[in-house]
Amino acid sequence: MKTAPDNTSSSPDFSGLRTAEMMAVISDLQQQLASQEEAIRQRDVRIAVLEELLRLKKIQQFGASSEKQAGQISLFDEAELEAEIDALRDQLPDDIEEDDAPRVPRKRRQRSFSDELLRERIELTLSDEEKAGATKTFFTKVKEELHFIPAQLKVLEYWQEKAVFEQGGEESIVAAPRPVHPLGKCIATPSLLAYLITSKYADGLPLYRQEQMFKRLGHEVSRTSMAHWIIQLGDVFKPLINLMREEQNSGDYLQADETRIQVLKEDGKSAQSDKWMWVTRGGPPDRPSVLFEYDPSRGGTVPVRLLDDFKGILQADGYSGYGQVCALNQLTRIGCWDHARRKFVEASRAAPGMDKKRQPSKADVALSYIRKLYRIEKAAQDLTDAERYQVRQEKSLPVLQAFKAWLEANVGKVMKGSLTRTAMDYTLNQWEYLVGYCERGDLQISNVLAENAIRPFALGRKAWLFADTPQGARASATCYSLIETAKANGLQPSAYIHHVLEHIAKADTVEKLEALLPWNAQLPGASKAA
C-alpha cells in the first residue's frame, strides 16, 4: 500500500538552481529578513513608547500631582556617578548648584489677630470678698481667642409708609419709595445672592450642598431657584463685563488660555462632547481684569471675537487656534515656558528607574536649563521693568542660546514618539514664541497669571461637574469674571459682588456703571483681599 509523501518538514531544493537564480533567492530572503527585523524594531519602539506612557499614567493616577521632583538639583551633584554618564554631565549648563537659588524667606507665624476683626471684651472679675481691702483694681489682657459666629438666615420685613391727602374732595396717596432690586421681585437679598455666587464660584460649593445648608439653617431654598437667580444675574452683570472687556483690550499685553467644560444641553452637540471656557487676563497695569467666556467651539474664530480691537502682545500656549487673531490683528505672540517645562517633567517622571541615583536623562538635562531660566526670573522679580529687561538680555539670552544648541544637537538622538522627543520637538517648534518674553521687562516667562485665574474654575468643576444649559455656562463665566477680576484688584470677591448687587440696579448711565468697576469701586478697607 502506497502512502503519500510527507512534505511538511521538507526544505526547498536549491541544488538545481543556477548561480544567478541562487543570488536572486538569497536577495529575496535577505529582504524578507530585513523586513522582519524592521517590523520587530518598530514593535520594540512601540512597546517602549507604551511602557513610558503606562509609567506616566500610573504616576499621574497614584503619584503626587506636583511637578516638583525630589532630588532635582542634587541629581547632578552625586560624587559616585559612574563614568558612563560623564558625557551627559558635560552637557549640563553651568552653575546649577542649589546655592544659586534665592532663599525663600520663612513665613512668620501670625502672633495676633487682625485689627479688622470684630472684638468683644470679656472681663474676668474678682468677687467682692476677693477684692475687699484692695487699694486699687485693674485689668490686664491675658489671652485672645478666635470665636466663630454661625451663619443664620433673617427675614427682612419691608413696611412701606403711606400718606393720604385730601384735596377737592378726592384722596391721593404718597408712598415711601421701595428699594430697587437687581432682579425685581426676588426673595433673596443682594447679600444672599452674593453669598450664593461666592460660595459656588470662589469656594467650589455646588448648589445642592448650599440647598442642604440653608435647610439646616431653617428655610429651604431650592437649587432650581438659586440656578435661576444666577442665570438672571448673568444678564444683569453683562453691561459691566462689556466695560471690563473694553478696558482689557485697551491694554497692550494679554494672556489667554482655555479649558474644557461639559454642557449637557448644547444644540448640535452631544452631552459628552467637549465645550470650552476661554479666559483672558490683561488690561492696563493699574486696571487688570480676568474675563471668562463660554463657547462650544475651540476654533480660531473665538479669540478673533474676544480680541476684536486688541493690539499688542498675546501670550498663550502652543495651540494653533490663536494664530488667526494674531494674523488679523497683527499681534505679537509669545509662548509659555510652563507648557514646555511640563512636557519635560512628564518625560522625566516616566523614565525607568526613578530614583535619586539613576542616570540623568535628556529630559533632566533640559529641565536643568529651564530651571536656570526660572531662577533668573525669581531673582529679578522685585526689579523694575527696565532692570528686569537688562537682566534678561545679559543672563537669560545666553542660557536660551545654549539650550537651543543642545536641543538641536540631541533631538535626532531621541526615539520618535517618546515623551522626551515630543517635548524637544514642541520646544523647538515654539522657540520663536518662547524667547519672546525677553523683549520686554514687563512680560511673563509663562502664562502663569492666566493659568492661576483658570485654576479655581478647574477645581470648582470637580465639584459641580457640568453645566446644564449654555445659559448656565455663560452665567458661570460672568460670575468667575467678577470674582477673579476682584481678586486681581486686591478686593474680597464677596464684598465686591455685594457692592455691585447693591448698586447696579440704579446704574442707568455709563458713568454709574464705570463707578462699579473694581478699580473704581469704593469699598471699606476690610473688603481688601489679604
Query: What is the pLDDT at residue 266?
Result: 81
The whole-number pLDDT of residue 56 equals 64
Q: How confident is the model at residue 495 (pLDDT cuts 50, 70, 90)?
A: very high
Better-scored residue on pLDDT, 460 or 259:
259
For the chain, give the mean pLDDT: 83
What pLDDT score does 69 carry?
A: 55
| Residue 393 pLDDT greater than 90, yes or no | yes
Q: How confident is the model at residue 428 (pLDDT cuts 50, 70, 90)?
A: very high
Is pLDDT of 196 > 90?
A: yes
pLDDT for res 76 = 37
The DSSP code sequence of 321-387 is: GGHHHHHHHT-EEE--HHHHHHHHHHHHHTSSS-STTSPPPHHHHHHHHHHHHHHHHHHTTTS-HHH
- pLDDT tens, 49-73? 676 667 666 666 655 555 555 444 4
Q: pLDDT above 70 covers what percent of the chain?
A: 81
Buried b (16+ CB within 10 A) or exposed e, 509-529: eeeebeebbbbebeeeeebee
The pTM assigned to this predicted structure is 0.76
pLDDT of residue 31: 84
Task: Please write the tens of the pLDDT for every residue from 23-43.
Answer: 887 888 788 888 887 777 777
Q: In this predicted structure, which of 41-50, 220-229, 296-305 has the lowest mean pLDDT?
A: 41-50
* Confidence band for 102, pLDDT divided at 50, 70 and 90: very low
pLDDT band at 347 (very low <50, low <70, confident <90, very high): confident
- C-alpha closest to that of 422 among 503, 491, 328, 348: 348
Cα–Cα distances in angstroms (integers) from residue 76 to residues 90, 105, 140, 440, in the given order = 11, 25, 58, 33
d(CA 347, CA 422): 9
Determine the average pLDDT of the residues in 408-422.
88
At residue 9, the pLDDT reads: 53
- Asked if residue 307 has pLDDT above 90, the reply is yes
CA dihedral 87, 90, 93, 97 (to 10 degrees): 110
Nearest Cα residue to 338 out of 286, 310, 373: 373
**pLDDT confidence of residue 42:** 74
* The three cell numbers locating residue 86: 560623564
pLDDT tier for residue 89 given thresholds of 50, 70 and 90: very low
Residues found in the chain? 530
Average pLDDT over residues 384-399: 93
Query: What is the average per-residue pLDDT within 190-215?
Result: 92
pLDDT at 484: 94
Residue 100 has pLDDT above 70, yes or no: no
For residue 153, which amino acid is it? L
pLDDT at 4: 52
The residue with greater pLDDT, 214 or 36, is: 214
**Per-residue pLDDT for 368 more than 80?**
yes
Give residue 282's pLDDT.
93
**CATH 3.30.420.10, the chain: domain bounds:** 180-336+447-530
pLDDT band at 96 (very low <50, low <70, confident <90, very high): very low
pLDDT of residue 358: 63
Q: Is the pLDDT of residue 91 over 60?
A: no
- Across the range 225-241, mean pLDDT stands at 95
**Whether pLDDT at 11 is above 90:** no
What dotted CATH number matches 180-336+447-530? 3.30.420.10
Q: List Cα–Cα distances, 379 to 116, 339, 340, 365, 384, in angstroms.
A: 34, 21, 21, 22, 12
Is pLDDT above 60 for 295?
yes
- For residues 340 and 283, what is the distance between their CA atoms, to the nearest angstrom? 26
b/e 332-367 (16+ beta carbons within 10 angstroms → b)? bbbbbbbbbbbbbbbbbbbbeeeeeeeebbbbbbbb
Per-residue pLDDT, 464: 63
